Chain A
Amino acid sequence: MDKQAPTILVVDDDADFLEQQKITLESAGYEVWTADSQKEAEELLEKQCPDAAVVDLMMEEADGGFALCYHIKQKHPDLPVIIVTAVASEAGLDFDAATDEERSWVKADAMLAKPVRPEQLYKELQRLLK
């Protein structure tokens, strides 16, 4: 077992959301890196690799979150990626990476709708970091 705290990369263009995820994840014992754009996240990933990534869909470029997930999975196929999004419900799209086929398409291991409840996020992280 790894004794060190797992590192989570959180990517979102909403500064407040980043701040909140940092506080809640840190209080749950994770180490947190934040990035507020696809670009910043990719630069960070060039240098280091976290244990998991939490990525928002709605970033500068309309599909920045998807593109980022795709790149992460290309480089680190085993790195768990959780997509968080506020888009799902109002666009009438019900994202739920439930099956292997869906997971392979969205290149994410889980999808959570915003606002994300901390318990939900912990649960997913625990499941994926096993």
Chain B
Amino acid sequence: METLRLLVVDDELGMRLGVEKALRQYTVRLPDIDDEVSYEVEKAEDGKGALAILNERPPDLLLLDHKLPDITGLEILDKLNRGESPETLTIMITAYASLETAVTATKRGAFDFLAKPFTPTELKSAVRKATRHLVLQREARRLAEEKRQIRFQFISVLTHEMKAPLGAVEGYLRIMKERAAGDDPAVYDQMLDRSLVRLEGMRKLIFDLLDMTAIESGQRKRELQTIDLKEAAERAVETFLPEAEKRDITLELHAPDSLLMTADRSELDIVLNNLVSNAIKYNKDGGRVDVTLSSENNHANIEVKDTGIGMKPENAEKLFKDFVRIKNSRTRRILGSGLGLSTVKKIANLYNGDATVHSEEDVGSTFIVTLQRTPADQEV
């Protein structure tokens, strides 16, 4: 429960006490943020007293009478606008339902106005409206700030990940230029090979980044059509078969004759390619990869099981976040951008589905992606 501070400024004692009484037990529920708000009422009888409080500790809400003994409510409103309390939301009290004053007040930044005389119910209604506005505005500001932070973090990590391969290649080039590693050409050949591997990693990072931003931005036009998931999985298996065979890994697809769903072809390809490619990359030579498709109600399940290096449960939880790669001596030489699985999860979410993993260190991992076969809204 949050308590908002409300300052009522009116030269009539009855008015000040009336507002205080009406709001003493009053609470407003805000279903949007699942919270409830109550009020702490402060009172001022003239402009001088009001400005003192506004300067000292600006309230959340200001209930401001226009006709005060020393200065007008509008003047206070102007001072408020020039000051540093833009967080305060003002409800103007106009004496004789003067539309003109109300309009002027609104133009000068008041959120709303109440015409005297008003009932407690009218007061509560105006306060409720202002509260909703205030809280939602703050929530929006908080979310924007959070988004800015996440973006900053993302870019920090991204640039770090881009600089690492650049630095590695640059380092090798310098050594080669200076012939700093002696006279054996084989040593330099190795440096060339490593440079090429690092550049390939950088290229993969860029492509994964493009995939991810395309999915995330929602800018790319999704082409939803009826697709046989089995055919898509066959394509992915075919693509990675040479890589599997090179390391003597058995790669098999188990699927019903067909598994139709409404999907965007390239999104399905990203999911399947990432899962199958990972299952091979993080496997042991001579291991197995089983891709199993099944369906349950309106969901299609893609299960990719490997007999690879696996991971600890605490690492498995982090795996679907941007740039998370489990670093240890066994993964160090394996190329990866750290974006593949986070993109897989984002795509699964587009299909009202999810991506999860069960893993055991040294035994292997099973990745499961569930996708809704027919989305509720066909057009995005």
Contact = CB atoms under 8 A, between A and B. Distances in A.
B163 A16 contact: no
A72 B328 CA distance: 22
B172 A16 contact: yes
Interface residues of B, number: 23
Given A14-B168, A16-B171, A20-B171, A90 B328 contact: no
Given A24-B180, A90-B156, A13 B175 contact: no
A14 B180 contact: no
B95 interface: no
B160 A58 contact: yes
B164 A14 contact: yes
A13 B332 contact: yes
A71 interface: no
Contact of A13 (B167, B194, B198, B327): B327
B174 A118 contact: yes
A36 B168 contact: no
Contacts of A91: 156
Contacts of A20: 168, 171-172, 175
A86 B161 CA distance: 10
A36 B331 CA distance: 12
B333 interface: yes
Given A16-B172, A20-B168, 6 more contacts: A13-B327, A15-B332, A16-B198, A17-B168, A27-B180, A86-B160
10 contacts: A13-B332, A16-B172, A16-B194, A16-B198, A23-B180, A36-B329, A86-B160, A86-B163, A87-B160, A90-B156
Interface of A: 13-17, 19-20, 23-24, 27, 36-37, 58-60, 86-87, 90-91, 114-115, 118
Interface of B: 155-156, 159-160, 163-164, 166-168, 170-172, 174-175, 180-181, 194, 198, 327-329, 332-333
Closest 7 CB pairs of A and B: A16-B168, A20-B171, A115-B167, A90-B159, A27-B180, A23-B181, A60-B327
